[in-house]
Amino acid sequence: MTATTLPGYTDQTRRRYNLTLQVVAGLGGLLYGIDVGIIGGALPYLEATSKLDPSQLSIIVAAVLLGSVFSTLFAGLLADWMGRKPLMILSGAAFILSIPVIALSQGYSSLFFGRLLQGMSGGLIGIVVPLYLAECLSASSRGKGTGVFQWMLTFGIVVAALIGIFFSYRVEAVAHLADAQALFNFKDHAWRSIFWMSMPPGILFVLGAFMVSESPRLLYRRGQLEKARAALLRSRSPEQATIELREMEVSSKPAGEKASDSLLRRKYVIPFLLACIILACNTATGINSIIGFNTNILIQSGLSDLQSHWGYVILTACNFCFTAIGMTLVDRKGRKFLFILGTSGIILAMIIVAALFRQTEKQSIDCRDQIQALVGSDSNAQQLTYQFSKSAAERLITTSGASSAGIDPARASFAIIYSYGDFTGTTSYARSDDPATPPLVVTRAAAVPANKVQALFQNPFGNYAAAGSAPLRIDKAVLSAVPQQSHGWLVAIFIYMFIAFYATGPGVCVWLALSELMPTRIRSNGMSIALVINQLVSAILQAIFLPFVAKHNYSSMFFLFASFTVVYFLTTAFLLPETKGKTLEEIEAFFEKPATRNS
């Protein structure tokens, strides 16, 4: 079969098909963005109505990333076994199924399972869509084309934020009725509705995946040469298709012949390690934690609930707009330039945000002794329920002898860090200026893992058996001043600076690094391993976020993000080659060159 015998392959149909590829990629990015961002608007209402403790809430937030870890372990194998197109359809179907599981849940287990399924869908999408685009798009359009995935990912986060702000206004209207039960019921309805409204993009993605061809490089690897040519001709000229088929032939073993070269060769090991480091550092910037906990961060920085939701909308809009800028620059300025620019700005922004939080955290006082005195003497059933309010803040300030600490009881926040034996738990921050704030609840179940397996991950050196009967110990009870709104907006501005630099550089380029650096032979499985590392780092950071900031404050968390980004900057500045304008086969040959010269 030749190009002249294939019907309908004209310039117009090629443009139309390339547009279809972009739309399907965009819908995949949209789903991934909703996976990441939907919890941001729902979390305050879930926290207020679900009776989940901070550790459970952090796990619910991180469950998407845990699901991604599980699915990306097998995504490369599935992509090779099923094909790129069927796997895209499967991942979209999993997303659709996760929505009713979450929205109809009545407890922690079903909510966790639904979020886990949603994360598994996102993990598959995060592998298969960039992989599919890298193998289908030409070298001249691969940067911008793959950027569409990230651009629509950010749009998905914007959509999630807009849904959240819509319900925030409705919650505020119900709050004016001064009916506590009605407010509770509506908040419960709000977080469920937020998830229901995220289902339509999943349906559109599945329909779009049926309209595209299989990856030409996968077809070539399977020995289906004419199908591979036909797939290339849907998006390229006959001349370009012929050139790329020849490059595939040079860089691959003939169809059906078993590859015998060692996976320890430089062309495999170096790009694989680079991709793994870049993917780990990318999420260690704190991007998913800052998006997932953005409303909580802004509330603690001094903004009101409604202002924090608007702050989250602005954050997602900045992410969306600056991703578009990155898309226009990636094929002109190159990947390496944008990586260096983005990581430099992230480091500066995180240091400033940490310093701003540090200024207000200096005024905090520890009320551990006062709270410990409220604990009962029965060591087998010790627990504590504490309603924090303006009057409670006044008592704590008075009894601690810290009346000169500069904390206004009418604008104060409070969190309790506690332990049973070797296992630690923490409450959320409660604010005295929030009349609907739920009581802080301290229970053994919230701190001590449910089984020995969980205990091993939480504290491998802890005595799990002893924790079941150990007395409740209050380790720290942090009373802090809630900063003024001007401080909150100042924090927000530098978080927007963070997201602007992230979106322009790493946000766009990370998916290209993941798909471009890997040689053909290991691309699908190598991408899976690298993204597993990415999701593991992100899941760990999100799971520990609330407990960490309660125990060590927000400033420590942001300084930690900045230090991780320094490693990111050094890696991309000194180790990453430029891949702009090169075919996948040319990039693979680049990593082989030093070995060739030395042989």
Type of residue numbered 32: Y
Say whether both 428 and 330 belong to one domain.
no
Say whether both 155 and 109 belong to one domain.
yes
Say whether both 98 and 202 belong to one domain.
yes
Say whether both 511 and 573 belong to one domain.
yes
Phi, psi of 260 (to 5 degrees): -115, -10
Dist CA 447 CA 468 (whole Å): 10
Here the tokens at position 159 are 């959509």
Supply the pTM of this predicted model: 0.69
Contact of 283 with 567, CB cutoff 8 Å = no
Say whether both 192 and 279 belong to one domain.
yes
Dist CA 417 CA 479 (whole Å): 12
For tokens 């796990």, the residue is: 59
Domain count, the chain: 2
Last residue of a domain, one of 481, 515, 534: 481
Q: What is the DSSP letter of 198?
A: T
CA dist 341 → 331, 421, 565 (Å) = 15, 47, 12
Contact of 70 with 120, CB cutoff 8 Å = yes
Taking phi over 0 as left and psi of -120 to 50 as alpha, with beta for the rest, 553 belongs to: left
pLDDT on residue 109: 82
Question: What's the pLDDT tens digit per position in 29-80?
Answer: 888 777 777 777 777 788 777 777 666 777 787 777 678 777 877 877 888 8
Dist CA 185 CA 188 (whole Å): 5
CATH number at residue 571: 1.20.1250.20
Q: What is the DSSP letter of 420?
A: E
Low-confidence stretches of the chain (pLDDT < 70) are 1-9, 53-55, 65, 138-146, 178, 250-264, 376-381, 402-405, 453-454, 457-458, 520, 524, 581-585, 593-599
CA dist 245 → 18, 209, 259, 524 (Å) = 19, 24, 18, 19
Say whether both 467 and 533 belong to one domain.
no
pLDDT on residue 595: 46
Dist CA 302 CA 169 (whole Å): 19
Contact of 29 with 250, CB cutoff 8 Å = no
In a domain? residue 175: yes
H/E element, 469: none
Contact of 6 with 230, CB cutoff 8 Å = yes
Say whether both 562 and 469 belong to one domain.
no
Dist CA 194 CA 198 (whole Å): 7
For tokens 């310093």, the residue is: 355
pLDDT on residue 255: 40
Say whether both 63 and 166 belong to one domain.
yes
In a domain? residue 322: yes
pLDDT on residue 12: 76
Type of residue numbered 343: T
pLDDT on residue 107: 79
Contact of 368 with 474, CB cutoff 8 Å = yes
Phi, psi of 426 (to 5 degrees): -150, 150
Helices (H) and strands (E) in the chain, counts: 24, 7
In a domain? residue 121: yes
* 412 strand-pairing partners: 481
CA dist 295 → 44, 289, 499 (Å) = 8, 11, 15
Last residue of a domain, one of 481, 496, 516: 481
pLDDT on residue 113: 87
Dist CA 225 CA 218 (whole Å): 10
Here the tokens at position 47 are 């926290």
Say whether both 288 and 343 belong to one domain.
yes
Say whether both 466 and 554 belong to one domain.
no
In a domain? residue 264: no
Last residue of a domain, one of 434, 462, 481: 481
In a domain? residue 241: no
What is the maximum span of the chain, computed from C-alpha positions, in angstroms?
A: 89
Question: What's the pLDDT tens digit per position in 115-157?
Answer: 889 888 888 887 788 778 777 776 666 666 667 777 887 788 7
Three-state SS sequence of 484-520: CHHHHHHHHHHHHHHHHHHHHHHHHHHHHHHHHCCCH
Domain with 462 in it: 365-406+409-481
| CA neighbours closer than 13 Å in the CB half-sphere of residue 188 | 14
In a domain? residue 502: yes
In a domain? residue 167: yes
Angle at 110 between CA 109 and CA 112, to 5 degrees: 65
pLDDT on residue 74: 80
In a domain? residue 312: yes
